[in-house]
Each structure stands twice: as structure tokens, then as C-alpha cells.
Amino acid sequence: MESAFIDNRAGEVPFAGILADLLTANLAQHPEKREVFGKMRGGVAIDLVDIEAAVTLIFTERGLRIEAGVGENPALVIRTTSDRVMDLNALRIVGGLPWYFDEAGRKVVAHLLTGRLRVEGMFAHPVLLTRLTIVMSVM
């Protein structure tokens, strides 16, 4: 996957560059993630409340566009802190699904149960959330 498929229009938000670099590396190194990435459609906002930074990832048939801020009506809104959002990248994928039964998975579940990690739309858009987890995971 070439970086041309990732259009970062949120250059003023440092987190956007980190996301673009992570996705570019993941997609280049893992062909199976490129296939999942190609199927993704919809908007995902990530709001890092501790550093007051937010981006919206807009997945289309042409790739990914990253915009600054929380866009209009994203399918998913992930709200957490900058350190906790990185915990999502540590989730392992087993059988095509996020694995919540190891230390990294239990940590994410604990964040969800205590409200330290909020994912609005996760029950309405589970496929998009699962695909996002797959392409973002560094495991």
C-alpha cells in the first residue's frame, strides 16, 4: 500500500502524522491488512481529550483521508487519552478478530468498562471497528 492512498489533510495535528505513518508502515508490511483496509468505508473520529487533539479518518473506495477535528456524523467516535489510544494498537488479532484474552486485550476491556476509553457507535458499526483494530494493530 502506498502512502498515496492515505491523504493527511490534518498536518497541523501531530497525532495525524503519527497515524498516517503507522498505517503506512502496517499496510506496507502486512498484505492481509491491505485487503482489510480496502474494504473499509465510513468515518472514525479519534478524540484525545488530554491533549485536546482530534482527527477524523474517512475511509472511501479510494483510500483514507485524515481531517482535523471530529467530523460531521462519523460512524465511530473514540474518546480517550493519548497514552490509552496506543493500547488499542497492542491488541492481537486471532482468527480475524481482536483478542481480548491476553494482557493487552484485558487492558483495553478494563478501559472500556471504567469509561477511560469510550467508543461511540461500537454496537452500531462493529465491522468498521473490527477492521480499524486490524489495520491499526502492530501485533
Are 36 and 85 in contact by the 8 Å Cβ rule? The answer is: no
Domains of the chain: 3-136 (3.30.1050.10)
Residues in the chain: 139
> What pLDDT is attached to residue 138?
87
Are 34 and 1 in contact by the 8 Å Cβ rule? The answer is: yes
Q: Write out pLDDT tens, residues 36-63.
A: 999 999 999 999 999 999 999 999 999 9
22: cell is 503507522
Reported pTM: 0.92
Task: Please provide the distance, in angstroms rounded to a whole number, between the alpha carbons at the two ends of the chain.
Answer: 18
Helix, strand, coil % in the chain, rounded to nearest 5: 40, 25, 30
pLDDT under 50 in the chain at which residues?
1-2
From residue 72, alpha-carbon distances to 17, 35, 44, 84, 124 in Å are 21, 27, 10, 24, 17
Structural element, H or E, at residue 135: helix 126-136
> What pLDDT is attached to residue 2?
47
